[in-house]
């Protein structure tokens, strides 16, 4: 049981690292590792394949706030904020590189929904501790 929990923690840390690298470079960790695998060989590819795939990956609906922002549900708050800001810079109606009011509004609603959900969860945890 402890091994499964530790594996879940490692997987969560890798996802967060992937999200942070994507925010800064625009490339996913899978692609960066894939390039290294091409250099170092197929044996490494087989070992690394298990890290990025797994049976516990939930399929999120297309209208999920996490899908709209392009992040996973266990993403850190910094990643959520960064993903929202990246979309806001791109789709803002006045200052965006590709102005699109509908996509900007969807990103804003998704961001607010995630923040509200996380705040509710924190409040419930605090109430349970009291």
Are the CB atoms for 85 and 98 separated by under 8 Å? Answer: no
Across 67-87, average pLDDT: 89
> Domains of the chain (ranges plus CATH)?
1-57 (no CATH), 60-130 (1.10.287.110)
pLDDT of 56 > 70? The answer is: no
Model pLDDT, residue 43: 67
pLDDT per residue over 80-113, tens digit each?
A: 999 999 999 999 999 888 999 999 999 999 999 9
pLDDT of 1 > 90? The answer is: no
Model pLDDT, residue 96: 86
Across 8-27, average pLDDT: 76
60: DSSP letter:
P
The percent of residues above 70 in pLDDT, for the chain, comes to 74
Q: How far apart are CA 110 and CA 76, in angstroms?
A: 15
Q: Where is 78: in which H helix or E strand?
A: helix 77-91
Task: Give the global pTM.
Answer: 0.63
Across 38-64, average pLDDT: 65
Q: pLDDT-derived band of residue 74, with 50, 70 and 90 as boundaries?
A: confident
Are the CB atoms for 96 and 90 separated by under 8 Å? Answer: yes
Model pLDDT, residue 75: 86
């Amino acid at each position: 049981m402890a091994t499964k929990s530790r594996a879940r923690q490692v997987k969560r840390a890798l996802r967060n690292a992937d999200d942070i690298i994507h925010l800064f470079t625009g490339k996913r960790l899978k692609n960066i590792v894939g390039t290294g695998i091409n250099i170092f060989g197929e044996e490494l590819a087989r070992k690394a394949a298990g890290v990025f795939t797994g049976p516990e990956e939930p399929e999120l609906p297309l209208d999920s706030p996490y899908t709209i922002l392009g992040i996973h549900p266990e993403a850190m708050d910094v990643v959520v904020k960064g993903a929202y800001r990246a979309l806001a810079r791109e789709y803002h109606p006045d200052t965006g590189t590709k102005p699109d009011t509908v996509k900007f509004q969807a990103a804003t609603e998704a961001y607010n929904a995630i923040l509200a959900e996380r705040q509710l969860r924190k409040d419930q945890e605090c109430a349970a501790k009291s």
